[in-house]
C-alpha cells in the first residue's frame, strides 16, 4: 500500500469453490484450509500465496485511517479481521515498517500488531502457515545494502519472526537504489526472506531492478502498485505490461479505491478524514453511473460491489489484490471475489464506464 507523507490491502468461500476446499471443524467453527487451486506462484520465485492477500496499512494508523484515533476497540477489530481472514482461507498479510509508526505519526506499528496476532494464533493453531510481506522504507539517510538488512532485522524483531515470505522496497529512493537491490539479494542469500519485490516502481526502474537481481540469480517476484477499476495507471504507464512480460506478479494495493468502490459512499456521504479531500462530492457524483452498474452486475451474481471490483482486477491476469481489512465483516466479504468470473463484456463495460472519470490520486514517485 501507499505511504502518504502528508498524513503518512480474503479469501472467503464462493459456493462454486466449496468442493475444492478442505474444511476442519474446530472449537465450534469451520476452519478452511487453502489447497493448491487457491494458491498462486509469486512471480519467478518458489513462493506460493493465496490469490488474495490482506493489507494492514490501517492497523495502528492514526494519520490517514481510523479518524485519527486508536483504541482497544479498534485493535480488537483488527484482531478479528486477522482471525476471520485465516478462518476464510486467506493466509498472507502485507504490512510495512512505516505503517502505524512514529515516523508516520501512528499509534502503534502495524508490524508489531501483526506479530502479536500471529503469536497468539500460533498458540492455538501451531500447524497453521501464515505468510508475511513487509517493506523497507527508502529514506534519504539510509545508504547502502546493509541498511536494507538492518531495517529487515528491525522488522523481524517487531514481528517476532525469524524470516518473512516477501520483503519489498516500499518506494524507489532518491539515491542508492542499486545498493537497496543488492540488499534484497543479500536478504535472500542470508535466509531472512523467501522472495523479494518492489513497490511503486515505474517500468524503467522495474526493468533495472529485474536485471540487477537476475545477475545474482534471484527473481524479482513482485511490484506492488496502486491499481483499481478507477485507477488504471499501471495499464497506461507500461508497468502492467512489463510485469506480464518479465513474469513479475503485480500486487494491487487500494484495489477497491480505499472503499470508494464498495458503494458505501455517495455525494451526500463522503469518506471521513483525509479521504474526504480526495474523493469529493463532485467526484462521487461523476462516479455514480459506474457504481450503479457495479451494483447491478453484482446483483446478477449475488455478489457485493466490493466483490465485483476485486473480481474485475483478478480478471486482468497476473494481479493479486490486497484489500485492507479493518474488521471481521470486511475480511469475510473479500473472499466472495473468488470462485466466479465476470464475462469479458462486463469487464470491458466497467472499464468503459470507469474511463469517464479521471484518476484522483497516485504515489508521488510512480512516474519516476
Q: Could you list the pLDDT tens digit for every one of the 368 residues in the chain?
A: 444 333 333 333 333 333 333 333 333 333 344 467 789 999 999 999 999 999 988 777 666 544 556 678 888 999 999 999 999 889 999 999 988 766 554 557 889 999 999 999 999 999 999 999 999 999 999 999 999 999 999 999 999 999 999 999 999 998 889 999 999 999 999 999 999 999 999 999 999 999 999 999 999 999 999 999 999 999 999 999 999 999 999 999 999 998 999 999 999 999 887 778 888 999 999 999 999 999 999 999 999 999 999 999 999 999 999 999 989 999 999 988 888 999 999 999 999 999 988 777 666 667 66
3-state secondary structure of 242: helix
Give the burial class of 105: count Cβ atoms within 10 A of its Cβ; 0-12 exposed, 13-18 middle, 19 or more buried: middle
Q: At the topology level of CATH, where does 36-259+307-340 sit?
A: TIM Barrel (3.20.20)
d(CA 293, CA 281): 19
**pLDDT tens digit sequence for 30-51:** 334 446 778 999 999 999 999 9
22-26 and 29-33 strand pairing: antiparallel
* Residue 99 known to be catalytic: yes
**pLDDT tens digit sequence for 99-119:** 876 655 455 788 999 999 999
Residue 272 phi, psi (nearest 5): -85, 170
Number of neighbouring beta carbons within 10 Å of residue 191: 9
What is the domain partition of the chain in residue ranges?
A: 36-259+307-340
Q: Which residue has the cell 527508502?
A: 138
Rg (CA), the chain: 19
Catalytic residue (choose from 99, 167, 201, 265):
99
Amino acid at each position: 500500500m501507499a505511504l502518504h507523507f502528508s498524513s503518512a490491502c480474503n479469501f472467503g468461500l464462493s459456493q462454486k469453490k466449496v468442493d475444492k476446499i478442505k474444511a476442519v471443524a474446530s472449537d465450534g467453527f469451520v476452519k478452511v484450509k487453502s489447497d493448491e487451486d487457491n494458491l498462486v506462484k509469486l512471480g519467478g520465485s518458489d513462493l506460493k500465496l493465496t490469490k488474495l492477500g490482506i493489507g494492514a496499512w490501517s492497523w495502528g494508523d492514526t494519520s490517514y485511517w481510523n479518524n485519527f484515533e486508536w483504541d482497544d476497540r479498534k485493535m480488537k477489530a483488527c484482531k478479528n479481521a486477522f482471525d476471520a481472514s485465516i478462518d476464510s482461507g486467506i493466509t498472507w498479510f502485507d504490512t510495512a515498517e512505516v505503517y502505524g509508526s512514529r515516523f508516520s505519526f501512528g499509534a502503534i506499528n502495524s508490524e508489531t500488531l501483526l506479530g502479536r496476532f500471529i503469536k497468539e494464533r500460533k498458540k492455538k493453531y501451531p500447524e497453521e502457515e501464515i505468510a508475511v510481506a513487509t517493506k523497507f522504507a527508502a529514506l534519504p539517510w539510509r545508504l547502502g545494502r546493509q541498511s536494507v538488512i538492518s531495517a529487515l532485522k528491525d522488522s523481524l524483531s517487531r514481528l517476532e519472526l525469524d524470516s518473512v515470505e516477501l520483503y519489498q522496497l516500499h518506494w524507489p529512493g532518491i539515491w542508492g537504489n542499486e545498493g537497496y537491490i543488492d540488499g534484497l539479494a543479500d536478504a535472500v542469500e542470508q535466509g531472512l526472506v523467501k522472495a523479494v519485490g518492489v513497490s511503486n516502481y515505474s517500468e524503467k526502474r522495474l526493468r533495472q531492478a529485474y536485471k540487477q537481481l537476475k545477475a545474482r540469480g534471484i527473481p524479482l517476484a513482485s511490484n506492488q502498485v496502486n491499481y483499481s477499476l478507477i485507477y488504471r495507471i499501471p495499464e497506461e504507464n507500461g508497468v502492467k505490461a512489463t510485469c506480464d512480460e518479465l513474469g513479475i506478479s503485480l500486487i494491487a494495493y487500494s484495489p477497491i479505491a480505499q472503499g470508494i468502490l464498495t458503494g458505501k459512499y455517495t455525494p451526500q456521504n463522503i469518506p471521513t478524514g483525509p479521504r474526504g479531500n480526495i474523493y469529493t462530492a463532485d467526484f462521487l457524483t461523476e462516479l455514480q453511473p459506474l457504481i450503479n452498474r457495479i451494483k447491478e452486475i453484482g446483483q446478477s451474481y449475488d455478489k457485493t460491489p466490493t466483490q465485483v471490483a476485486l473480481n474485475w482486477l483478478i480478471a486482468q491476469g497476473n494481479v493479486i489484490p490486497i484489500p485492507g481489512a479493518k474488521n471481521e465483516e470486511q475480511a469475510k466479504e473479500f473472499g466472495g471475489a473468488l470462485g466466479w468470473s465476470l464475462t469479458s463484456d462486463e469487464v470491458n463495460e466497467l472499464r468503459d464506464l470507469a474511463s469517464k472519470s479521471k484518476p484522483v490520486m497516485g504515489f508521488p514517485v510512480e512516474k519516476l
